[in-house]
Amino acid sequence: MSLLVTGSIGIDSVITPQGRARDVLGGSATYFSFAASLFTRVRLVAVVGDDFPAAFRDVLALADVDLAGLETRAGSKTFRWAGEYSPDMNERDTLDIQLNVLAEAGPKIPRAFADSDVVFLANTHPVLQRELLGQVNSPRLSVCDTMDCWIENEPDELRKTLAAVDGVIINDGEARDLTGRVNLVSAGEAILALGPRFAVIKKGEHGAMLVTGDSVTTIPAFPIAEVRDPTGAGDSFAGGMLGYLDHGGQQDTAALRRALLRGTVAASFTIEDFSLNRLRSVGPEELERRVKDFVDMLRIE
């Protein structure tokens, strides 16, 4: 039982209709790790600059996360991202992005992490995703994310990465861009034709869809009355899903469906407040209570 994540750790500034947060802890690997650590111990591989605040390091240390793969690169600056959400929070504009250390050489997987069972490659250059995956001996499950700029600018490299992983977790717009298919069931099937044996397509407030070789499952989002900041929902979703799968050890369709529930619920906590403010206050019991409420809500005779 060991789950490795590679991805970004950053300093975010976010504006939503519910307020704003300046210079807060963010990044795909951060949200993923907090969600996954509700189920299993996470091995985090990422790189920050020497300006990374000590207080953020303390926050990361609070989660059940092994930070041996967190490199602090001397003379480099931490990744920064700023975004603003539309009034309905379904769209967001990037106001500023400073790749800084993310534009340099990628991190290395520590030798002690090479035996990881489950690997999540958060969004980054598809060549780097493959290099990182290649440093893990024989994971029983590997999953990747991607984003619009790689779909547009590095389609061939992205295809090679997709051919190397077992699963993909991406959002609906990316699935359509990647496959050229508007219908999401069809887009999911087209992703499977590229290599993965399952695709999870996230649809924001409309939930998510799991497509495997012989099944399609849709799940709504858990309803939240006051969404304060959707940032990190997708990465928390992936963390909840893969944390659950790593802990349970199974990866058949029934297990993937149960994992879909956990991912959905993990994301529902993240969006209740800015940065990690809500998610970091959640424990496994509170998460499972919400999973139970969700299952009760979905059970329609």
The residues of the shown chain that bind ligand AMP, judged by CB under 6 A, are 8, 10, 12, 26-28, 81, 123, 231-235
Minimum CB separation of residue 221 from ligand AMP in Å reads: 14
Locate 75 and state its tokens.
């003379």
Please state the closest distance from residue 119 (CB atom) to ligand AMP, in A.
17
Q: In angstroms, rounded to a whole number, what is the distance separating the alpha carbons of residues 187 and 39? A: 30
Q: How far is CA 208 from CA 62, 160, 264, 274, 277, in A?
A: 29, 25, 8, 22, 24
Q: Which helix (H) or strand (E) holds 152?
A: helix 148-153
Nearer to ligand AMP by Cβ, of 30 and 40: the residue is 30
Q: How far is the CB of 30 from ligand AMP (least distance, A)?
A: 7
Closest chain position to ligand AMP (CB): 26
Q: How far is the CB of 75 from ligand AMP (least distance, A)?
A: 21
Q: Which of 13, 10, 8, 88 is nearest to 274 (CA)?
A: 13
Q: Closest separation between CB of residue 48 and ligand AMP, Å? A: 12
What is the DSSP track for 203-258? -GGG-EEEEETTEEEEEPPPP-S-----TTHHHHHHHHHHHHHHHH---SHHHHHH
CA–CA distance, 132 with 128 (Å, rounded to integer):
6
Q: Tokens 């931490």 sit at which residue?
A: 78
**Integer Cα distance of 239 and 162 in angstroms:** 19
Choice between 24 and 117, CB closer to ligand AMP:
24
User: Which helix (H) or strand (E) segment is 67 a member of?
Assistant: strand 65-73
The 10 Å Cβ neighbour count of residue 131 is: 14
**Distance in angstroms (rounded) separating the CA atoms of residues 72 and 240:** 26
To which H or E segment does residue 270 belong? Answer: helix 253-270
